[in-house]
Amino acid sequence: MLKLDKVRYSIDEKKILKGVSTRFDPFKIHGIVGPNGSGKSTLLKTICRVWEPQDGKVLIDDRDAGTFSRRELSRTVTLVPQNTNVGFPISVYDIVTMGRNPHLGRFQLMRNRDREIIDWALEQTHSKGLKDRIVNELSGGECQLAVIARALATEAPLILLDEPTSDLDIKHALTIMDLLSDLKGKGKTIIVSVHDLNLARRYCDTVTIIYEGDVFFAGPPDEALSRENIKKVFDVEMTEIRSDSKSFLYFS
């Protein structure tokens, strides 16, 4: 269970989060949507304390996340940031290995269990064939899978992803969203900011709309992504187009 209680964050005089209160139930995919600059990335960063909330609380199983040690928090929640760039040559395997750091003492060598978890993370993300490749030489989709594998290697039950499909072709976008569905079935709780509203509607159990630094709406996708909400938040018209048993949203 994850709860946010009146979380605020500002940069200089600009208020990014204006007292966000909401909750995310376990073992679900929770989509975060909203216009650019609405506070989605900041929200994810405050949850995992990349940026400390300046007011309010983030509660994980009713415990203030501010009381977690860094190591304990890294075992509990992990963030896949947007557009991860690696500034030096490193293999996919070594990137994924970094996910085991919260479980190792200072100067401690990896154990057999650590290697087993790394192999499992590579298997889950279909990245085992990439393990000897240099990350900088991968396609955007392949690189994103490697970074998700690193997150899985932490064994954290709560996974945050900041627009993981934003610059990917549709094949890799669907691969990643299908992967998140599989992880939900394996006991993970996933909070993902999504640029594509049709993907959010198809894959997410709940959708939270962030608008002007606060929660505008939170609920089931069909209710969140209503014509009225889309018009108010994104200032576009929405039409639902149906074909047989399927439908998708068209914006104009």
Tokens 């990439």, residue located:
130
Contact between 124 and 149 under an 8 Å Cβ cutoff? The reply is yes
Distance CA 143, CA 84 (A): 8
Q: For residue 189, what pLDDT band results from cuts at 50, 70 and 90?
A: very high
Q: Is the pLDDT of residue 202 over 80?
A: yes
Q: For residue 90, what pLDDT band results from cuts at 50, 70 and 90?
A: very high
Tokens 């499909």, residue located:
165
Q: Is the pLDDT of residue 153 over 80?
A: yes
Distance CA 184, CA 220 (A): 17
Distance CA 198, CA 222 (A): 11
* Predicted confidence (pLDDT) per residue in 50-89, tens digit: 999 999 999 999 999 999 999 999 999 999 998 777 777 8
Residue 193 gets the label, from left (phi > 0), alpha (psi -120 to 50) or beta, of beta
- Pairing between strand 63-64 and 55-60? antiparallel
Q: For residue 167, what pLDDT band results from cuts at 50, 70 and 90?
A: confident
CA distances from 98 to 70, 147, 152 (A): 15, 10, 11
* CATH 3.40.50.300 applies to domain 2-251: yes
Residue 204 gets the label, from left (phi > 0), alpha (psi -120 to 50) or beta, of beta
- Pairing between strand 55-60 and 206-211? unpaired
Tokens 């909203």, residue located:
34
